[in-house]
Structure 1
Amino acid sequence: MHRFLRVIAAGVPLILALTVAGCAEGETEARPTVAVPQTSPPAPVPLTPDVAARAFQTYVTDEDVARAAGDERLALTWTSDGQSQLTAAEFRKAAYDGDPVRRFVYGKPELYVPRLKDAAYPQWFVVSVDRSVLGKPKSERRALMAFILRGRSDHWKLTLATFLQEKTKEPKVAIDADGYATALSTNDPSVLIRPRDVGGIQATIAAEGDGSVAAKVMKSNAVTTGFYQDARREKKKAKKKDLTLQVVYTATPFPYFGLRAKGGGGLVVYSLFRNTSLIAKDSGTPEPEIPEDAEHLLDGTVEGNEVDTTATLHFAAFDPPKAKQGEPQPKAHMIADEGAVTKAATPPLKKP
Structure 2
Amino acid sequence: MHRFTRVIAAVVPLILALGAAGCAEGESEARPTVSVPTTSPPEPVPLTPESAEEAFRTYVTDEDVARAAGDERLALNWTTGGQRQLTAAEFREAAYDGDPVRRFAYGKPELYVPKLKDDAYPHWFMASVGRSVLGERGSGRTVLTAFVRNSPSDRWKLTFATVMQKKAKLPEVEIDDDGYAEALGTDDTSLLIRPRDVIGIHATVAAEGGGSVAAKVMKSSAVTTGFYKDTKKATKNAKEDDLTLQVVYTATPFPYFGVRTESGGGLIVYSLFRSTSLTAEDPGTPKPEIPEEAEHLLDGTVEGNQIDTTATLHFAAYDPERADEGDRQAKAQVIADHGAISKASTPPLKKTP
What is the TM-score of this pair, normalised by structure 1?
0.91
Code of the aligned partner of 1:262: E
Q: Which residue of 1 aligns with 2:61?
A: 61
Q: Which residue of 2 aligns with 1:6?
A: none
CA distance in 2, matches of 1:349, 1:34: 62
Alpha-carbon offset, residue 59 of structure 1: 0.1
Q: Which residues in structure 2 correspond to 1:260-279 (within 5 Å)?
A: 260-279=260-279
Aligned residues: 326
Alpha-carbon offset, residue 32 of structure 1: 7.5
Q: Which residue of 2 aligns with 1:149?
A: 149
Alpha-carbon offset, residue 159 of structure 1: 0.2
Q: Which residue of 2 aligns with 1:52?
A: 52
Q: Which residue of 1 aligns with 2:136?
A: 136
- State which structure, 1 or 2, has the greater radius of gyration over its C-alpha atoms: 1
Code of the aligned partner of 2:267: L
CA distance in 1, matches of 2:351, 2:160: 40
Alpha-carbon offset, residue 36 of structure 1: 3.1
CA distance in 2, matches of 1:160, 1:115: 20
Q: Which residue of 2 aligns with 1:180?
A: 180
Alpha-carbon offset, residue 328 of structure 1: 1.0
Equivalent residue of 2:45, what SS? coil
Map Cα deviations across residues 270-293 of structure 1 (whole Å, 9 max, x no partner): 000000000002100100000110
Q: Which residues in structure 2 correspond to 1:1-352 (within 5 Å)?
A: 35-352=35-352
Question: 1:34–1:102: structure 2 CA closer, same or farther, 3 Å change rule?
Answer: farther
Question: 1:322–1:38: structure 2 CA closer, same or farther, 3 Å change rule?
Answer: same
Map Cα deviations across residues 155-175 of structure 1 (whole Å, 9 max, x no partner): 000000001001110011000
Alpha-carbon offset, residue 38 of structure 1: 0.6
Structure 1 residue ranges (4+ consecutive) displaced by more than 2 angstroms after TM superposition: 31-36
Map Cα deviations across residues 216-265 of structure 1 (whole Å, 9 max, x no partner): 00010110000000011100110000000000000000000010000211
Equivalent residue of 1:235, what SS? helix
What is the TM-score of this pair, normalised by structure 2?
0.90
CA distance in 1, matches of 2:227, 2:326: 33
CA distance in 1, matches of 2:224, 2:309: 20
CA distance in 2, matches of 1:34, 1:138: 67
Alpha-carbon offset, residue 35 of structure 1: 3.4
Equivalent residue of 2:60, what SS? helix
Question: 1:290–1:33: structure 2 CA closer, same or farther, 3 Å change rule?
Answer: farther
Code of the aligned partner of 1:58: T
CA distance in 1, matches of 2:331, 2:265: 11
Equivalent residue of 1:293, what SS? helix
Alpha-carbon offset, residue 34 of structure 1: 5.3
Alpha-carbon offset, residue 315 of structure 1: 0.1
Alpha-carbon offset, residue 103 of structure 1: 0.5
CA distance in 2, matches of 1:36, 1:303: 57
Alpha-carbon offset, residue 33 of structure 1: 7.4
Equivalent residue of 1:270, what SS? strand
CA distance in 2, matches of 1:38, 1:66: 36
Equivalent residue of 2:161, what SS? strand
Equivalent residue of 1:136, what SS? coil
Taking only aligned residues, the RMSD between alpha carbons, in angstroms, comes to 1.4
Question: Identity of counterpart residues, as a percentage?
Answer: 72
Map Cα deviations across residues 285-336 of structure 1 (whole Å, 9 max, x no partner): 1000001100000000001110000000000000000001110111101000
Structure 2, gaps ≥5 residues long: 1-15, 21-30
